[in-house]
Structure 1
Amino acid sequence: MTTTLEDRARVDKIAQYELLDGPAPDDLDGLVQLAASVCGVPKAVINIIDDRHQHQVASVGFAPGVCSRKDSMCTAVLVEKRQIEVPDARFDDRFAANPFVTGEIALVRFYASSPLRTPDGIIIGTLCVFDDESGELKQSQSEALALLAGQVVDVLELRRLTRELGRSNEQLASFAGRVSHDLRNPLTALVGYLEIAADSPEMAQAPHSARAIAQAENAAGRMTAMVTDLLDYARVGGAQPKRDRVELTTVLGGALEDLDAAIRSSGATVVVDVDADLAVLGDPTLLRVVFQNLVANALKFAPQAGAAPFIEVTAQDTSLGVLVTVDDNGPGVPADERESVFELLARGSDTEAPGLGIGLSTCRHIVSAHGGGIGIDDAPAGGARVWVLLPAA
């Protein structure tokens, strides 16, 4: 089965809810029981559907299980993106041959299913009620099913935010304490020395040096602003990044300017193919941190046999938001490491690469705080493709 962009965004969102590795929360059991009662049927279930399977995470009237996505009746909800109600599935072309209807898995007759739609519009599964006998919902019952599906997502969001705030407060408060002295004080001194150099009479006779000093001042100023914003972000737990219109070419240009020396010293070619009017909704400083980290990461993992790094940054507007990809021609990331490399202080199997393993964790934290997603695939050139999905402005 081909994995689509929508599937990748869904899988990433499901992973954030941490639903599939343990028993369902009690509040989900309560909601699924309420759905069955309100709709007057003996069976109800909360289905989470990833790119390959349907996971029944909470149910009433039968024991929950896992089945292939191709066997799932609720895949139709992902396709049609709306609530579906069927009086008798045997006489509906979408379901007549489904194993849940034919008796191979079950004998479903009446079927109604409402999408679990996250705040950023991603459908991660369904709240489903069904019966072995035909039937139908009253208007009030149909509306109640949709309302309860919304309550399921509210529960998941509340649990996710509580979990992430707990983690981020602890990790970022510790990080803020470490960097406040180690970064801010040297930067303040550096800016002072650059100002002295820029004002010296010798600079009037050395225009190239004056330009270099001016560029260094700009870089130091941006870094100071970045550190200040990150420390403020850490102190509040990273819950409320700014929500400004951010032109991608501007934020990418700032990130590449900060990396100019590293790009030139590595002999890398960096190509940016982004429309000038493409914009996202977010915090410009934090998003610059994301793209600076991603390009720096691509530079760090150089291709084999002494070849120069080649990095391509593209962006496109999609139905789910703005998708930005950063491709490189390096060794790539093994499939079994593509999730773990986003953990704090985690590093891939290439332990010779420099760094402490903070960059990708920071990127995921910032992107998640913007309501977006981030992941890793194979790049067309054989290296890694890191994709970032952000809300459109």
Structure 2
Amino acid sequence: MQSAPLHSTEHQRLATLLNYEVLDTEDERAFNELTELASTICGTPISLISLVDDHRQWFKSKVGLKANETPRSIAFCTHAILQDEVFEVNNALEDPRFFDNPLVTGDPDIRFYAGAPLVAPDGSPIGTLCVIDKEPRKLDASQLRALTILSAQVIGQMELRLHNRRLDRIHREQQTLFATLAHDLRTPFNGILGLSKHLSRKAETLSPARITQLAHGVLSSSLQVYQLLDELLQWSASRYSSKSSHLSIQPLLPLIERSTELYIDTMALKNITFNCNVKSDLSVCADATLTKTIIRNLLANAIKFTPENLSIDISAEPNDSFVEIRVSNNGSLIPEDTRKNLFSQTVASEKGTMGETGNGLGLKLMQEFVETQGGKIWLEQNEPDTNTFCFTLQHPSSTTGIV
């Protein structure tokens, strides 16, 4: 028996298969009808939609077979996914690759096999639509053509299924996002309206110090509104644009400076010292819009949890093929139970040191923005006295063909 070698793009092939989120799912009528049609057209008692992962072939749909999966090492389909066209074995007993295969010498006693690769839009063959008989035979040209067409229909159903699942997920996210925004926007808007109304009515009788205090309150509330709306717009763009990121080589320091301009007055309100330790000649391969949004969000969180008269630090260092950016504050520490779920789900937002509110959506969104640029984001666990968020962007030396 000869086991098939791995596909030349095995890593990408497996990633594409997993992306469909179809392995170990229930039967679905659309796939069962295609399997039945393949069996009828080809005149075979067995027909399968077989998906090949790293250790098995699993059957999304089957006709004439009880098994749900078989080991990859003995699967005919692992040979079929290496071909560009239908892979046909007319008599397995006479084929040196299969004559002693357990699927030939025992149940289901395969003699004839024909498998059309299921090729995803990115070119990855994730499995086959195959027909099997217990007797030697050969498909004619029309049957081969029909099997090829049906295999394309299987992929079409996979794409439709994935699209519908994504729409369902986006719909659920929308409901959560809009409900949260509707709640969280009321507080800063009420603050803006109340403080502005008070200024308008009492400005002539208020002391300069009180006017300054009210103005700072308006500023703080306005920035909260801005951040919420910015996250909403970025969230929408990341899901509905054809391209989620546009990478180019960018000097990092100007990105940080433009991102922090918005918060200079807010930090002054809490007398926070801001330290930026980033070399002027350090560049990254990044999407400028997404990166500025990430920095703004992390800085806003740092300001929120930094008490008066303390400091916030931003630093960056090249590390192998990446640049690691760190945003640290030595204020109120994030609770341990919250730390565990920061990037895995939407977490309940905590109030800041001056009662600042938030929506609990920012970090999950920032994770998406970092990962779409090929980086990672995490909360440093080995610094018990600070909150330090780290994220990586690609170093220009690790990329080619990007300007």
Give TM class, smaller chain. 0.5 to 0.7
8 Å contact 1:7–1:50 — kept in the other structure? no
8 Å contact 1:252–1:288 — kept in the other structure? no
Partner of 1:119 in structure 2? 121
2:48 counterpart SS class: strand
After TM superposition, the score normalised by the length of structure 1 is 0.55
Tell me: CA distance 1:272–1:242, structure 2 relative to 1, closer, same or farther (3 Å).
farther
Matched, 1:345 2:346: yes
Q: What is the rounded CA distance, in whole Å, between the counterparts of 1:291 and 1:120 in structure 2?
A: 33
2:154 counterpart SS class: helix
Query: Which of 146, 150, 159 is residue 144 of structure 1 equivalent to?
Result: 146
Alignment root-mean-square deviation, CA: 5.5
Matched, 1:230 2:230: no
Q: Structure 1: 5+ residue runs without aligned partners?
A: 190-221, 295-307, 316-324, 329-339, 348-354, 377-383
Q: Structure 2: 5+ residue runs without aligned partners?
A: 193-225, 264-273, 299-314, 327-340, 349-358, 378-389, 395-400
Q: Which has the larger radius of gyration?
A: 2
Q: Deviations over 1:280-321 (max 9, x none)?
A: xxx974688689999xxxxxxxxxxxxx99764749xxxxxx
Tell me: CA distance 1:231–1:79, structure 2 relative to 1, closer, same or farther (3 Å).
closer
Query: Which of 141, 160, 163 is residue 161 of structure 1 equivalent to?
Result: 163
Tell me: CA distance 1:143–1:360, structure 2 relative to 1, closer, same or farther (3 Å).
farther
Tell me: CA distance 1:285–1:22, structure 2 relative to 1, closer, same or farther (3 Å).
same
2:81 counterpart SS class: helix
Identity of aligned residues (%): 26
- Paired AA for residue 242 in structure 1: S
Matched, 1:172 2:182: no
Tell me: CA distance 1:163–1:229, structure 2 relative to 1, closer, same or farther (3 Å).
same
1:79 counterpart SS class: coil
Tell me: CA distance 1:181–1:61, structure 2 relative to 1, closer, same or farther (3 Å).
closer
Tell me: CA distance 1:374–1:366, structure 2 relative to 1, closer, same or farther (3 Å).
closer
8 Å contact 2:256–2:292 — kept in the other structure? no
Return the offset for 1:48.
1.1
Partner of 2:70 in structure 1? 67
2:157 counterpart SS class: helix
Partner of 2:354 in structure 1? none
2:161 counterpart SS class: helix
1:156 counterpart SS class: helix
Q: What is the rounded CA distance, in whole Å, between the counterparts of 2:67 and 2:171 in structure 1?
A: 35
Q: Deviations over 1:80-119 (max 9, x none)?
A: 3543122122333443443222x14532121111111222
Q: What is the rounded CA distance, in whole Å, between the counterparts of 1:104 and 1:288 in structure 2?
A: 62
Q: How many corresponding residue pairs?
A: 295
8 Å contact 1:343–1:361 — kept in the other structure? no
Residue pairs, 1:1-393, within 5 angstroms: 6-101=9-104, 103-176=105-178, 178-179=180-181, 227=231, 229-230=233-234, 232-233=236-237, 238=239, 240-243=240-243, 246-250=246-250, 285=289, 312=319, 314=321, 343-345=344-346, 359=363, 363=367
Partner of 1:299 in structure 2? none
1:249 counterpart SS class: strand
Partner of 2:398 in structure 1? none
Tell me: CA distance 1:227–1:45, structure 2 relative to 1, closer, same or farther (3 Å).
same
Tell me: CA distance 1:149–1:345, structure 2 relative to 1, closer, same or farther (3 Å).
same
8 Å contact 1:289–1:363 — kept in the other structure? no
Q: What is the rounded CA distance, in whole Å, between the counterparts of 2:128 and 2:86 in structure 1?
A: 9
Q: What is the rounded CA distance, in whole Å, between the counterparts of 2:393 and 2:80 in structure 1?
A: 26
After TM superposition, the score normalised by the length of structure 2 is 0.54
Tell me: CA distance 1:177–1:26, structure 2 relative to 1, closer, same or farther (3 Å).
same
